[in-house]
């Protein structure tokens, strides 16, 4: 994947000087030092990413990659593959959870069909200006990874390039914060296989029920993940090998988006388990990228904590969610926006005529 090399080279370590400038600015704002907790760190990190003391997340976008999974035919999900296409239509018509939540935080919503297998039933839906549906279909879902790699080299390459293109478009549109979203029946199976490969944790410890698998489905899911890993022997030190063999088209698209966003100085906010598996692959490919990521929430999927731990990120929220679609990312966008508003809009002790504590220690 030589085309990634210039991208990776452009992902610079966080600018420590700007981070320190931002920390110094935080000390001058009319609040006891450190009293806004994690909100303070968020603004400092955005300052370092954007190299400014007036960071902006005004233009924020949730990007959902949607694709199907060959492995779904093994019966690993509570829903059939065609629900992927139906949910994409639901996004387009504005009826999904992510539509409602992204509106509350003024985030744009882009949905990329990178590999949906069924026809997307949007024939009767009026054009929806609140959401962009982008066709980048590479193929109709992955291969069944229990028989061999989920993707060919060419599939993987095109998926990553799609992600890079979406990042480039975001850059041109002035987006400074991208939330990751995904839709794909069967994709917790892929994400769990990725997690097992990257962390060496056994599948039975990190497999969850996805959208709500019953006991039989759940047991089968673990067995399917174990079989996929055995058949494919992904190389844990080679993130892209793991991605190609046991990943998915939407996960690869998100991975490319992470790399492209960070290379363009765009901050990233993860969603749940699947989006984080994409981010974890991107971090394995380029460890420096981790500084550009904000972890939105801790999913109920048991593998998620292991992935966040691997990347070294602490989630902002823990609301017992497990939906995906970018819903956790969108909620975290609200927190990040608040952190930036505080940093940009608060008065300093001097401006407000408020006594600073250092000058007035009690007798």
| Nearest to a copy of itself of 5, 361 (CB atom) | 361
Of residues 74, 108, 182, 325, which has the active-site annotation? 325
Residue 274: CB minimum distance to a copy of itself, A? 13
| Nearest to a copy of itself of 137, 297 (CB atom) | 297
| Nearest to a copy of itself of 202, 347 (CB atom) | 347
Residue 106: CB minimum distance to a copy of itself, A? 9
* 325 is annotated as an active-site residue: yes
| Nearest to a copy of itself of 24, 100 (CB atom) | 100
SS3 labels along the chain = CHHHHHHHHCCCCCCHHHHHHHHHHHHHECCCCCCCCHHHHHHHHHHHHHCCCCCCCCCEEEEEEEECCHHHHHCCCCCCCHHHHHHHHHHHHCCCHHHHHHHHCCCEEEEEEEECCCCCCCCCCCCCCCEEEEECCCCCCCCCCCCCCCCCHHHHHHHHHHHHHHHHHHHHCCCCEEEEEEECCCHHHHHHHHHHHHHCCCHHHHCCCCCCCCHHHHHHHHHHHHHHHHHHCCCCCCHHHHHHHHCCHHHHHHHHHHHHHHHCCCEEECCCHHHHHHHHHHHHHCHHHHHHEECCECCCCCHHHHHHHHHCCCCCECCCCCCCCCHHHHHHHHHHHHHHHHHHHCCEHHHHCCCCHHHCCCC
Residue 333: CB minimum distance to a copy of itself, A? 10
| Nearest to a copy of itself of 24, 354 (CB atom) | 354
Residue 320: CB minimum distance to a copy of itself, A? 3
Residue 42: CB minimum distance to a copy of itself, A? 9
- Active site (catalytic) residues: 325
């Amino acid at each position: 994947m030589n085309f990634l090399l210039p991208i990776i080279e452009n992902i610079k370590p966080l600018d420590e000087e700007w981070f320190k400038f931002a920390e110094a600015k935080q000390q001058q704002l009319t609040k006891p030092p450190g009293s806004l907790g994690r909100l303070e760190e968020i603004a400092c990190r955005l300052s370092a990413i954007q190299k400014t003391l007036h960071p902006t997340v005004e233009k924020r976008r949730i990007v959902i990659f949607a694709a199907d999974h060959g492995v779904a035919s093994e019966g690993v999900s509570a829903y059939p593959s065609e629900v992927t296409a139906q949910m994409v239509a639901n996004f387009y018509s504005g009826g999904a959870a992510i539509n409602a939540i992204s509106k509350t935080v003024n985030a744009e919503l882009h949905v990329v069909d990178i590999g949906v297998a069924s026809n997307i039933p949007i024939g009767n839906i009026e054009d929806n200006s609140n959401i962009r549906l982008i066709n980048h279909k590479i193929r109709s879902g992955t291969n069944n990874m229990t028989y061999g790699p989920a993707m060919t080299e060419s599939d993987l390459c095109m998926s990553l390039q799609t992600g890079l293109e979406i990042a480039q478009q975001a850059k041109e549109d002035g987006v400074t914060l991208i939330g990751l979203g995904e839709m794909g029946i069967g994709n917790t199976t892929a994400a769990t296989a990725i997690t097992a490969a990257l962390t060496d944790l056994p599948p039975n410890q990190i497999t969850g029920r996805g959208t709500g698998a019953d006991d039989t489905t759940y047991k089968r899911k673990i067995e399917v993940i174990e079989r996929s890993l055995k058949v494919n022997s992904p190389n844990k030190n080679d993130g892209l090998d793991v991605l190609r063999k046991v990943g998915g088209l939407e996960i690869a698209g998100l991975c490319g988006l992470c790399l492209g966003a960070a290379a363009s100085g765009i901050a990233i906010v993860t969603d749940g388990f699947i989006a984080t598996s994409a981010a974890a692959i991107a971090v394995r490919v380029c460890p420096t990228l981790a500084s550009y990521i904000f972890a939105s929430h801790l999913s109920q999927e048991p593998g998620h904590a292991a992935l966040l731990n691997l990347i070294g990120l602490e989630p902002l929220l823990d609301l017992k969610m497990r939906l995906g679609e970018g819903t956790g990312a969108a909620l975290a966008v609200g927190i990040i926006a608040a952190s930036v508003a505080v940093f940009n809009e608060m008065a300093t002790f001097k401006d407000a005529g408020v006594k600073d504590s250092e000058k007035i220690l009690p007798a």
